[in-house]
Structure 1
Amino acid sequence: MKLKVYLSGEIHSNWRTQIIEGCKNLGLDITFSSAVTDHDASDAAGDGLGEESNSFWRDHKSAKVNAVRIKYSIENCDLAIIRFGEKYKQWNAAFDAGYCAALGKPYITLHDESLVHALKEVDGSAQAWAQSPTQVIDILKYLTTQA
């Protein structure tokens, strides 16, 4: 089975690379997509729409431009992996999980045990909760190699 997997959430660690490389090393037939992970580029996504003196409106424009890519990616994926890290609050990741749930798109959350209580509703709609990229790779291997 070929899968299209959307990688959402935390951008300050290499979890995406670990999953992509792990699946590549196993020869899994998976196409990955993601939001823009370069923080400065993401923040500047709306700059072409005109300069803003108020940072709120700059962020607002950029969020809307970024939402085009995210919405398309979620709607066209078979499965989303949604990562929550400890250092920052990933409100966007929580929104992505809610959007997946509303669309009936399966998703897997990826976070450590310290976030279980805070993410109980998000995890409640997920098809799985993983604590490491290795666990995600194992699930993806199972999904793509079982007849």
Structure 2
Amino acid sequence: MKVYLSGEIHTDWREQIITGAQGLDVTFAAPITDHAASDDCGVAILGAEEDKFWHDRKGAQINAIRTRKAIAEADVVVVRFGDQYKQWNAAFDAGYAAALGKSLIILHSADHAHALKEVDAAALAVASEPAQVVAILRYVLTGALAG
């Protein structure tokens, strides 16, 4: 199974899922989580921009090549919404995955339940902890409820 891990980059939730899923037949993909590299890839590759809008746009478009490919190839897309920042890109990834008919798991705290109600409604599962995502993957792949 191919799983794309989208969303916030400031906590270790991805590592928790990857570690928890050891032994399962799962391949994980993710965006570039080095914030500076992600922000600056466009100008580093294609040349400097004086205007911050175009600087950001170049990076966003190059990152979109990676993101679109990973979501298109994924069997399951997990989108994590963290507490620290607004993740507009994560919401976009969730919508893109839903539009492609991907199996979508949303991961967030109870504090975001109201704000993400439309995103949650598009998901096949809404989890609050990375361990729940691992349990879903284990159940889907093996039928086992416990690891």
User: TM-score, normalising length from structure 2?
Assistant: 0.95
Q: Partners of 1:100 and 1:62 in 2: how far apart?
A: 21
Match of residue 102 from structure 1: 99
Q: 1:125 matched to which residue of 2?
A: 122
Instruction: Name 2:26's counterpart in structure 1.
Output: 30
* Equivalent residue in structure 2 for 1:111, among 108, 113, 117: 108
- AA paired with 1:103? L
What SS does structure 1 have at the residue aligned with 2:83?
Answer: coil
Q: Tell me the SS of whatever aligns to 1:87.
A: coil
Secondary structure at 1:60 match in 2: helix
**Which residues of 2 match residues 1-147 of structure 1 at below 5 A?**
3-24=1-22, 27-47=23-43, 48-146=45-143
SS of structure 2 residue aligned to 1:44: helix
Indicate the percent of aligned positions where both proteins have the same amino acid.
Answer: 57
Cα RMSD over matched residues?
1.0
Could you tell me which runs of 5 or more consecutive residues in structure 2 were left unpaired when the two chains were aligned: none
Aligned residues: 143
Question: Residue by residue, what CA displacement relative to the aligned partner does 1:66-106 show, whole Å, maximum 9, x if unpaired?
Answer: 00000000000000000000110000000001001111111
**Structure 1 SS opposite 2:85:** coil
Q: Distance in 2 between matches of 1:87 and 1:29?
A: 32
Structure 2 CA distance, aligned partners of 1:30 and 1:23? 7
Match of 2:97, SS state, is helix
Residue identity matched to 2:18: I
Q: For the residues of structure 1 that align with 2:79 and 2:63, how far apart are their CA atoms?
A: 17
Query: Normalised by the size of structure 1, how large is the TM-score?
Result: 0.95
Runs ≥4 residues deviating over 3 A: none
Contiguous gaps of at least 5 residues in structure 1: none
